[in-house]
Amino acid sequence: MPWISKAALHTRRPCQDAPNHFLNGGATIEQLPLSALIGPADIIDVPDSTNVTADALRALDVPADATRLLFRTLNTRRRLMEVTPFASDYVGLDASAARWLAKERPGVVLVGIDYVSIGMLEDIVEAHKELFRKGTVVVEGLDLSAAPTGRHHLTCLPLLLVGSDGAPGRCILQTNSQGASK
């Protein structure tokens, strides 16, 4: 069973953002629903030349019954989580992708990505806000390099930091070959 995360708080290691990181009055880390952090998760490979936009999502094979999506992008192939300087050209979601998920995949309760922010730099605030307004849990900084594409079982738990806008976490992916439900 591969570990797909290490630990940190809004840094270069996987963490969960809480809605109050971007929304005034939003939920804090201990108010995130644990049910969103445990369950089936689909690893989606994003083509190298694109950010995650609504158009990109339409072109990808995002399962209609998806509940948790983990985006493996060029960030993984560039090994950005292992590089010390911040890479401003990282791949992330824009607000149109967050709106597409809310409309076309309303069952998605968690979205994760393989770099320090779910939102692309040029749209970082609005991408986060769109996800948080829908109640989507955000997990950032995932190491998806060894995980196979497809549906697996995710357990991703934040450190309990009462009142915090984020927390380091441990994420474990149980792959189908290890008995995860399909």
Instruction: Give the closest residue to 121 by CA, choosing from 148, 74, 86.
Output: 86
Q: Is 178 helix (H, G, I), strand (E, B) or coil?
A: helix
- Mark whether 21 is an active-site residue: yes
User: For residue 63, what are its two tokens?
Assistant: 């399962």
Torsion of CA 103, 164, 3, 181, to 10 degrees: -40
User: For residue 129, what are its two tokens?
Assistant: 């806000």
- Catalytic pick from 21, 128, 152, 153? 21
Task: Report the catalytic residues.
Answer: 21
